[in-house]
Amino acid sequence: MKISVIQPDIVWEDKDRNLEKIGQMVSELKDTEIVILPEMFTTGFSMNPETLFETPDSGTFDWMIHTSEKGNFGICGSYIVREKDNYFNRWIFVSPDHKSWKYDKRHLFRMSNEEKSYTQGNKRLIFRFRELRICANICYDLRFPVWSRNKNDYDLLINSANWPLSRENVWSILLQARAIENQCFVAGSNRVGTDGAGIKYCGNSMIINPKGVIIAKADEREEGSVSGEISVSELDSFRKKFPVWKDADNFIIVKK
């Protein structure tokens, strides 16, 4: 299966320009089955949800449905959603037949006061798209390995991020660590450029194999996309020969 990661320079808090830009980047992809977008791909990592929120089935969701159907691929990324009186940093995956799955960010980045603006999610998401079982992460989730512990129940870990330049090496190391410890493919989508808060981002979007080897990587500072082939049959063979997951410790995740 071919998967593709988009790496844009997100325009600060401008949904229309971002959807136009990302739409153009997506249209240039060829023969891909999954398209992965960064965290808050319509706005940047904004702490102004009250002015930027969408309802669950509004503009961005409609754009994802249309884009997925037109390209015959799954598409995913996070954006700001309001339900009742709660704002969520919500990751959405949409399929060409209009099915969708959602995940609300569990680990809110307190160093930017994200927990003061958004409501924490408390449920992991693992789902199947075509032959692939997928687990969803958003940015800061990457630092918490128990949350993404693989019990042989997923094949691809996706992390949609706005990861800063100041912690560039941490991004690469943690993505590779998650691939090795979970014996899974990992795809990380990050942005480039500088946001409205003056934070610079490192790019380095990448696709990693279950042995921690980077098989495709985007430029560090430039907009663009990167694609790679992943094989579920090769993954299954590796897990059978080297079944680390059978010796993993059990954890109980407590809701907060």
DSSP state of 98: S
Say which residues have a Cβ less than 8 Å from residue 12's Cβ, sequence separation at least 6.
43, 44, 46, 195, 196
| Distance between CA atoms of residues 178 and 175, nearest Å | 5
**Annotated catalytic residue within 15, 21, 39, 102:** 39
**Annotated catalytic residue within 15, 21, 102, 105:** 105
| Distance between CA atoms of residues 16 and 19, nearest Å | 5
Active site residue 123: no
Active site residue 168: no
Q: Phi/psi at 16 (nearest 5 deg)?
A: -60, -45
**Annotated catalytic residue within 76, 139, 184, 202:** 139
Q: Phi/psi at 40 (nearest 5 deg)?
A: 45, 55
Is residue 101 within 8 A of residue 124, CB to CB? The reply is no
Active site residue 184: no
Is residue 211 within 8 A of residue 180, CB to CB? The reply is yes
Catalytic residues: 39, 105, 139
